[in-house]
Amino acid sequence: MTTLDTPTQAATIAVTPDGLGRSARRPDGRPKVKGQFAFSSDLEAEGMLWGQLLRSPHPSATIRSIDVSGAWRVPGVLAVLTAADVPGRKTYGLDYPDQPVFASDVVRYAGEPVAAVAADHPVTARLAAEAIVVEYEVHEPLTDSVLALGAEPVHPLGNTLYRQTIRRGDPAARGAVSVEGTYETGMQDQAFMGPESGLAVPAADGGVDLYVATQWLHVDQDQIAACLDLPLDMVRVHLAGVGGAFGAREDLSMQVQLCLLALRTGRPVKIVYSREESFHGHVHRHPAHMWYRHTADADGRLVSVEARIIFDGGAYLSSSTAVTLNAACFANGPYNVQNAFVDCTAVRTNNPPCGAMRGFGAVQVCFAHEAQMDKLAVALSIDPIELRLRNAYAPGDQLIIGQVLSGTAPVAEVIRACAAAPLPPGGPDTAAELALPGGAGRTADRARVRRGVGFAVGFKNLMFSAGFDDYSTARCRLEDGRVTITTAAVEVGQGLVTVMQQIARDVLGVDDVALGEASTMGIGSAGSTSASRQSWMTGGAVDTACRAVRERLLSSVAQRFEVQRAGLELSSGRVLSVDGSLDLSLAEAAGGAVLEETAVFRHPGTVALDENGQGDAHVSFAFAAHRAVVDVDLDLGLVKVVEVATAQDVGRVLNPVQLIGQLEGGISQGVGFAVMEEIVLDDGKLRNPSFTDYIIPTALDMPPVTIQALIEQPEPGSPLGAKGAGEPPSISSTAAVVAAIRNATGLELPRAPVRPQDIALLLAEQRPAGSTDISPAPPAKEASP
């Protein structure tokens, strides 16, 4: 079942092959399948050196001394840098520069850079970095986020990174039924495949050209230039091929240190992180502790929600502000409630810094609010789907921040569609060996495998919120009949490059659309490739620029050929008049002129929340529902996710194949977070910084995804009618999988990811002494149809 409302621009879609609505192929696909696409780690330059960072092994320490002489004794070393070599601002940061380029006096997390070297071979560089002697006075690290607010400050700015409270309605209001719970989510890693890497090339003007995989070129440029003490135009940031991002490339990684090495040596320098360094070198998803109390009336309508949430932000701010804001705003999920009291704080600790990851802030709270909804359903003896439907937002409803849902909000539609998906056939008794929990040979006894079904709904904002001046810039150039689109927007794999071409094809009626280099040179910011914003924002800018070129072209033809502008059409690369008198190629129509238009697209303004956490902070919202089916080995605690079904609010489908890829990929990260993915810390130190020990889903772990419905209700205000689709698949899929495991085991499972011991040990404890029957209590109720 696919619910299809007629998109507003349907007339222009239908006529353009590979225009919007079609599964146009990605323009970078050919080099990618041939192994010829240049990722940031594939770059090379004449005379290139290799850079290497030295990182602190301690999560908390005072640096007594740094002796770099050992590094200089390694043959082939050309530069050794420490904090003293940073000419400009010594710190950087997305929201506020609280993170040192190099630690000089204290280190605040294990993995913090202390020095950097450049050498003629990566092995030389590594040996030289290891030869630097840093004398540390090691301190007891602050690693428990719950204790952080009362602890010694980790940083001069204190241990409160950001706090967002929401106070709405009557604090004394209570419904007849109350449910309470404390929930936890772990630290997830983005685990993109292409490690952090870049190439810095010193320029004749004393500046530097940096080729790097990032998510926002201009915000990198701002931070790098401040640290290098160079004017912006001397720090030219070029996008190199990005091997996935998922939020981990929003913050700077080695950009500043790499540029410093190139400027110091006067030679191109390349840094490629190892996987271990990558785990230490980027932010992670905030772990969360969440206490919730919901009350509802006897009909199951929510009366109140209270939530206290603590996020571990690690040592530095990163994007904790936006993550905390989101968690507070979406703390109750897509459900109406008049009385809401939410207190969400991101705290500073000596753990690795946390920041953006797909669905930031919304993922954690969704795990809690959906567990609460299931508890409430049991307490009220109401079907959990029905309970969600009774409370679901609809257009015109108010969020807990008081903002009215002025756009589309097909919450009931995604719930109904997803719940209606047929359950997968068969069961653990008939599954192939390889498809049992744990894969081949693990499950000893099929009869001890139980199937469970779970359901969850989530939502979050699209684009940047809370008064941020969010915009994107795009240029359309028509020269000799050839269309070129240039933006600084970052393609991370999501397929924006395809969508930009599709837009230009529709507006200008051409098949071939070239894409200019994404860089900070000669084009304004496109904003970040995050918050599901690029199809809307850069899509809007490209659409506007192309329409301006089209208008100039047709007006000039009308003038030169003395025909009515209204009687001219652009189709299949030709300008035609409806009366048949004109049929010009684009080059002829332009009459030798180069037509170029640059457009800046802004979404409608938002405001910061007031002291009660009230205000129109967001632009638009996207909703999704997930239903998971799992098989659980009760003895070993292993889980096989059998299927995930979904329905998602997408506004309008711009490219069906790419959209499906976003849903399947996002769900795989949600499945991973539910049952296997967690950064394990021991006294602040990462214990599993490798793909051997940090497990992400393989093709055997990842279940088939059933896309039951793509709800197309074009979003008013969205330039193409579409809503960002990248994050919603990762929001409620984790909650749905864990709900399914609860359904199979009867356990409460208040923590994600669910580890084998969370199941097997608890079930073993429930056995009466001496009993050999280890079957669980039957689930209280089927979780969903």
Partner 1 sequence: MEQLTDNEALLSYTLHVNGHDRAVNDALLSENLLYVLRERLGLRGSKNACEQGECGACSVLIDGRLECACTVLAAGAAGREIVTVEGLTPAGDELSGLQEAFLAEGAVQCGFCTPGLIVSVHDLLERTPDPTELEIREAISGNLCRCTGYGRILAAVKVAQDARHP
Residues that bind partner 1 (CB under 8 A): 23, 25-26, 28-30, 32-39, 41-42, 44, 74-76, 120-124, 127, 190-195, 241-246, 272, 274-275, 432, 434-435, 492-495, 657-658, 660-661, 664-669, 690-692, 696-700, 702, 704-705
Q: Which two tokens stand for residue 378?
A: 């049991």
Residue 35 CB, shortest distance to partner 1, in Å, is: 2
Residue 118 CB, shortest distance to partner 1, in Å, is: 13
Residue 48 CB, shortest distance to partner 1, in Å, is: 10
Closer to partner 1 by CB, 343 or 677: give it.
677
Of 542, 492, 456, which Cα lies nearest the Cα of 662?
A: 492
Closer to partner 1 by CB, 193 or 764: give it.
193
Closer to partner 1 by CB, 228 or 421: give it.
421
Neighbour tally for 396: CB within 10 Å: 9
Q: Which two tokens stand for residue 231?
A: 């004017």
Of 513, 506, 524, which Cα lies nearest the Cα of 479?
A: 513
CB 393, CB 335: distance < 8 Å: yes
Of 330, 358, 363, 359, which Cα lies nearest the Cα of 344?
A: 330
**524 vs 528: CA distance, rounded Å:** 12
Q: Which two tokens stand for residue 140?
A: 């007891």
Q: Is 273 helix (H, G, I), strand (E, B) or coil?
A: coil
Q: How far is CA 326 from CA 35, 151, 311, 466, 577, in A?
A: 39, 26, 12, 10, 51
**638 vs 744: CA distance, rounded Å:** 12
Q: How far apart are the first and last CA of the chain?
A: 17
Closer to partner 1 by CB, 548 or 702: give it.
702
Residue 242 CB, shortest distance to partner 1, in Å, is: 6
**706 vs 428: CA distance, rounded Å:** 19
Residue 689 CB, shortest distance to partner 1, in Å, is: 11
> Rounded to 5, what percent of the chain is helix, strand, coil?
30, 25, 45
Closer to partner 1 by CB, 272 or 327: give it.
272
Residue 38 CB, shortest distance to partner 1, in Å, is: 8
Kindly report the backbone phi and psi dihedral angles of residue 689, in degrees, each rounded to the nearest multiple of 5, phi listed first: -85, 60
Residue 684 CB, shortest distance to partner 1, in Å, is: 24
Residue 429 CB, shortest distance to partner 1, in Å, is: 17
Closer to partner 1 by CB, 48 or 203: give it.
48
Q: Is 326 helix (H, G, I), strand (E, B) or coil?
A: helix
Residue 301 CB, shortest distance to partner 1, in Å, is: 36
- SS (HEC) of 559-603: HHHCCCHHHEEEECCEEEECCCCCEEEHHHHHCCCCEEEEEEEEC
Closer to partner 1 by CB, 49 or 63: give it.
49
Which residues touch 610 (CB under 8 Å, ≥6 apart)?
Answer: none
Residue 384 CB, shortest distance to partner 1, in Å, is: 26
Residue 591 CB, shortest distance to partner 1, in Å, is: 33
Question: Among all chains, which residue has been given the structure tokens 């030219």?
Answer: 236
- SS (HEC) of 461-494: EECCCCCCCCEEEEEEEEECCEEEEEECCCCCCC
Closer to partner 1 by CB, 403 or 501: give it.
501
Residue 531 CB, shortest distance to partner 1, in Å, is: 18
CB 526, CB 487: distance < 8 Å: yes
Closer to partner 1 by CB, 92 or 246: give it.
246
Closer to partner 1 by CB, 386 or 664: give it.
664
Which residues touch 522 (CB under 8 Å, ≥6 apart)?
Answer: 486
**221 vs 236: CA distance, rounded Å:** 7
Closer to partner 1 by CB, 501 or 713: give it.
501
Closer to partner 1 by CB, 29 or 591: give it.
29
